[in-house]
C-alpha cells in the first residue's frame, strides 16, 4: 500500500470506549463482554514479556528501516501488542493464526523465531521465506501461522478456509482471523461471514480497530463504526473489547474460542486499539494530532498498564522488570545482528519455489 496522506482529518482524541454490556443476541451470553479478570503474577509477567518483545522488536525494525536495511513496506505493530498477546494466552497450539500485512507481532506471539522474522525483513536467506516474501509475506507451518497477506481483506476469506478445514476434519482447532477496521469494509469479509455462519465454521474474526485505515479515520470510512455489529445481519455474535488491556483481550478471546470449539460457528471480537506509528514507515501520520497519540501512550499503553499493576501490587519489582527488559533487548539485538549479517539469498533462489 502506498502512503500519501492527503487531508488532515478530524481527529478524535478520546480513549477507546469501554466495552458496553451489549444486548444478548444469542444464548450463553454471546455478544456480552466478560468481566475483566485478574491475572496471576505469572500471567502478568508472561504478558509483559511477550508484549515487550514485540515493542522492542518493532522499534528495532523501525530503526533498521531508517538505516536502509529493511526496504519496501514495513507496518509496525507498536501500540497494539495487547491484542495478539491476549488472544495467544487464550488459544491453543493447534489454533491457526492468519492476518494482514501488519504481521510481525502476530508472528512473535505465535512463537516464531525473532531472528527468522527480522532476517526476512532484511531480505536474507535465513528469513522465514528465504528472503523472498518480506515484511508482509511470512508463514510458519510449524507454528500454525498462515501469513502475512498483502491484499487488504484477503486473509478473511483465507482464514475462513482454514476454519473450513477444521470443520472438514472434525478437529477442535479454531481459526483466529485478524483484520483491521479498514479491511472491514471489503466485500469479501461479508461473503466470508455468510459462509462461516451458514456452515458454523470455527473462526474468530478479530477486528483490530486501530481507528485509522491508513490515513482515513473510522468515522470517515465506516457508516457503522461499531465493528462488533458487523456480523448482525448474519447472526454472528460480536463484542467490543478494550484492546489496550491484555486481560480483557484474553477473557474475550477465551469466550469466543470456546464458542467456536462448541460448534456454534463464528464469533466477532472488535479489539479497540491504537497504533502509535504511522500506517507504514513512510507515513508521517498528519491525519491525527500529536496530542491524540501522546494521550494514548500515557493513559492506555498496554505494556505500561501491566507494569504499573505489577509494581503497585508488589508482585514484581523495578529490578525484576529491568532484568526482563535487558533479556528482551538482548534477544532483539541478536535478531538484528543476525538479520544484518546473514547473506542475501543465493541467486539460484530466483527460480525455486515457483512450483512444487
Partner 1 sequence: MPTNILMPALSPTMEQGKLAKWLKKEGDTIKSGDVLAEIETDKATMEVEAVDEGTLAKILIPDGTDNVAVNTPIAVIAGEGEDASATASAAPAPSPTTAASTAPSQGDGAAHQDKGGEKPEAVAKKGSDAPLPPAEASASAVAPEIPEGTVMATMTVRDALRDAMAEEMRRDDRVFIIGEEVAEYQGAYKVTQGLLQEFGPKRVVDTPITEHGFAGLGVGAAMAGLRPIVEFMTFNFAMQAIDHIINSAAKTLYMSGGQMDNAVVFRGPNGAAARVAAQHSQDYSSWYSNVPGLKVVAPYTAADFKGLLKSAIRDPNPIVFLENEILYGQQFEVPRLDDFVVPIGKARIARAGRDVTLVAWSIGMTYAIKAADELAKEGIEAEIIDLRTIRPMDVPAIVRSVQKTHRCVTVEEGWPQSGVGAEIAAKVMSEAFDYLDAPVIRITGKDVPMPYAANLEKLALPNVKEVVGAAKAVMYRN
Indicate whether 127 belongs to the interface with partner 1 (CB under 8 A). yes
Q: Is 234 in the site for partner 1 (CB under 8 A)?
A: no
Q: Are strands 203-209 and 175-180 parallel, antiparallel or unpaired?
A: parallel
Contact residue for partner 1 among 8, 41, 94, 168 (CB under 8 A) = 168
CA angle 119, 81, 324 (to 5 degrees): 75
Q: Using CB under 8 A, which of the segments 49-57, 216-224, 259-267, 344-352 binds partner 1?
A: 344-352
Which 292-331 positions form the footprint of partner 1 (CB under 8 A)?
none
C-alpha cell at 6: 492527503
Indicate whether 143 belongs to the interface with partner 1 (CB under 8 A). no
Number of residues that bind partner 1 (CB under 8 A): 49
**Closer of 160 and 216 to partner 1 (Cβ):** 160
Stretch that binds partner 1, among 139-147, 223-231, 250-258, 290-298 (CB under 8 A): 139-147
Site for partner 1 (CB under 8 A): which residue of 3, 9, 69, 151? Answer: 151
Q: Could you give the dihedral angle defined by the CA atoms of residues 252, 254, 255 and 258, in that order, rounded to the nearest 10 degrees?
A: 150
- 121 Cβ contact partners less than 8 Å away, ≥ 6 residues apart: 61, 64, 70, 74, 104, 127, 134, 135, 339
Q: Least separation, in Å, of the C-beta of 336 and partner 1?
A: 20
Angle between helices 41-66 and 114-121 (to 10 degrees): 20
Smallest separation (angstroms) from partner 1 to the CB of 289: 36
CB contact set of 326 (below 8 Å; sequence gap of 6+): none
CA distance 173 to 98: 13
What lies within 8 Å, CB to CB, of 239 at 6+ separation is 19, 22, 31, 32, 33, 228, 252, 268, 269, 270
Q: Does the footprint of partner 1 cover residue 110 (CB under 8 A)?
A: no
Specify the pairing of strand 212-213 against strand 216-217.
antiparallel
By CB under 8 A, residue 350 contacts partner 1 = yes
154 binds partner 1 (CB under 8 A): yes
- Establish if 228 lies at the interface with partner 1 (CB under 8 A): no
Considering the rule CB under 8 A, would residue 191 count as an interface residue with partner 1?
yes
**Residue 144 vs 275, nearer CB to partner 1:** 144
Nearest distance from C-beta of residue 111 to partner 1, angstroms: 16
Q: Which residues bind partner 1 (CB under 8 A)?
A: 96, 98, 127-133, 137-141, 146-151, 154, 156-166, 168, 187-188, 191-192, 194-195, 198, 347-348, 350-356
Amino acid at each position: 500500500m502506498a502512503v500519501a496522506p492527503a487531508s488532515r482529518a478530524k481527529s478524535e482524541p478520546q480513549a477507546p470506549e469501554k466495552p458496553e454490556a451489549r444486548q444478548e443476541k444469542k444464548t450463553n451470553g454471546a455478544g456480552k463482554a466478560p468481566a475483566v479478570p485478574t491475572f496471576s503474577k505469572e500471567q502478568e509477567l508472561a504478558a509483559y514479556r511477550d508484549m515487550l518483545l514485540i515493542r522492542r522488536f518493532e522499534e528495532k525494525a523501525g530503526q533498521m528501516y531508517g538505516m536502509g536495511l529493511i526496504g519496501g513496506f514495513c507496518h509496525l505493530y507498536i501500540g497494539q501488542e495487547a491484542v495478539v498477546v491476549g488472544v495467544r494466552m487464550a488459544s491453543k497450539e493447534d489454533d491457526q493464526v492468519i492476518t494482514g500485512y501488519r504481521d510481525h507481532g502476530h508472528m512473535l506471539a505465535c512463537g516464531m523465531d525473532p531472528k527468522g522474522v527480522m532476517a526476512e525483513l532484511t531480505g536474507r536467506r535465513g528469513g522465514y521465506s528465504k528472503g523472498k516474501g518480506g515484511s508482509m509475506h511470512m508463514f510458519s507451518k510449524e507454528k500454525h501461522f498462515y501469513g502475512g497477506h498483502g491484499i487488504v481483506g484477503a486473509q478473511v476469506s483465507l482464514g475462513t478456509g482454514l476454519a473450513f478445514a477444521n470443520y472438514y476434519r472434525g478437529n477442535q482447532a479454531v481459526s483466529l482471523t485478524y483484520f483491521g477496521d479498514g479491511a472491514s469494509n471489503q466485500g469479501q469479509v461479508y461473503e466470508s461471514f455468510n459462509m462461516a455462519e451458514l456452515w458454523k465454521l470455527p473462526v474468530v474474526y478479530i477486528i483490530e480497530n486501530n481507528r485509522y485505515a491508513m490515513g482515513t479515520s473510522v468515522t470517515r470510512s465506516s457508516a457503522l463504526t461499531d465493528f462488533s455489529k458487523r456480523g448482525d445481519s448474519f447472526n454472528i455474535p460480536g463484542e467490543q473489547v478494550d484492546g489496550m488491556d491484555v486481560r480483557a483481550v484474553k477473557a474475550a478471546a477465551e469466550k469466543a474460542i470456546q464458542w467456536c470449539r462448541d460448534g456454534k460457528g463464528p464469533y466477532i471480537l472488535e479489539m479497540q486499539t491504537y497504533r502509535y506509528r504511522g500506517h507504514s514507515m513512510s507515513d508521517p501520520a498528519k491525519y491525527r494530532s500529536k496530542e491524540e497519540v501522546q494521550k494514548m501512550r500515557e493513559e492506555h499503553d498496554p505494556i505500561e498498564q501491566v507494569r504499573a499493576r505489577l509494581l503497585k501490587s508488589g508482585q514484581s519489582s523495578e529490578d525484576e522488570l529491568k532484568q526482563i527488559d535487558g533479556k528482551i533487548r538482548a534477544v532483539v539485538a541478536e535478531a538484528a545482528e543476525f538479520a544484518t549479517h546473514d547473506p542475501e539469498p543465493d541467486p539460484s533462489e530466483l527460480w525455486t519455489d515457483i512450483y512444487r
